Structure 1
């Protein structure tokens, strides 16, 4: 007998990633979208109820296993607490959470005391593998210069991308002497041995491309990833929701779930 599908609510349902989540979920037997939340409900096409308030939506539904969220920092901060109050796991791919006035990261920590919470800057399996390769390269190529470049569609709001910052943090974890982040260069800018270059490009409809360049000792090593479309991230987020629903409260990492 097949397992019951994971019952989810999708927030930000009228946004780019919300639309991808709804489309991807429709092709899967292990996920059921029971409701969606959007600023403009009339623009959402899904065989489920669509509302504007997450709290009211969760009150109306009999059982919700997980909330999957791709919105904005202030909304994510609010939704994490609402999901926890209703006993639903919270999976979010919202970026730009660091240093925001609403303290989304603190809200995620608080919610994780009651329900499983998973926040990832990227839900691509390829990026998860890339991160391991980058950490290994950073540890092996001591003294090499490091440059991180990311490219996204022209509508992306935060820069650098959350994924790029995660990759920078992976390098810094292995290379603690790299203490400065140089965001772009202009004019006379001799490179400092303590810096990582970080560059953001915005153009067209690029779903996401990231490169980490190591250069030194008369050689270069380039590690990169390019997503063909946003469906990659939607599939990963749904995988995460299925994997984390029903687990013990706490913070979970996407890469850890891939190893289960």
Structure 2
């Protein structure tokens, strides 16, 4: 739906297609960089102070990596001499125009980048849901890095034992389990269970759900081990 973003000429349609392919690649490797681009889309296109291009990363490493990746893909143009960043007007127009059929421009993501910012809990919840949608369409390669980044942000913003953080960790564990990354899934479920019991008690519903998922991960691991013993190779066992 390129027309929604005002890409009416052949050249603009080409830019829009390249934009989508580029963000697919970036999302797979560093989802936070796309969050940063959404934020930059709401400033004037030229001479954006670099100090405004900040991800929630106390060390600054994550922000620098995101900026470097966006620069490498020619989505932004930094000017070290002035300490500013420019973003092409068409890139901004595409980035901030909602399109319910485009996972990079869903209305919720656009609104949250414009109103709430990348750190707001509602933004984290939307990213969580988007990762779930990727998983539902059989695309764990996108779901896993997006959820892993969301988990890191949730731990930093809400705390490791916040219910939303535990839920995000469990969602990531579920996807790893379904992808065959059983050791990673078991580790994540165990961490969630320990934190949940410590904060809420062993009888809390969230603890019960986490305990059940943890047990199922172990059961699946036992099945995989049995197949290996009898010479049937599992589909996947290690982290991607």
Same fold, judged at TM 0.5 (above): no
Q: Higher strand fraction: Structure 1 or Structure 2? A: 1
Q: Higher helix fraction: Structure 1 or Structure 2? A: 2
Q: TM-score, normalised by structure 1?
A: 0.27
Tell which has more relative contact order, 1 or 2 (C-alpha 8 A, sep 6+): 1
Q: TM-score, normalised by structure 2?
A: 0.28
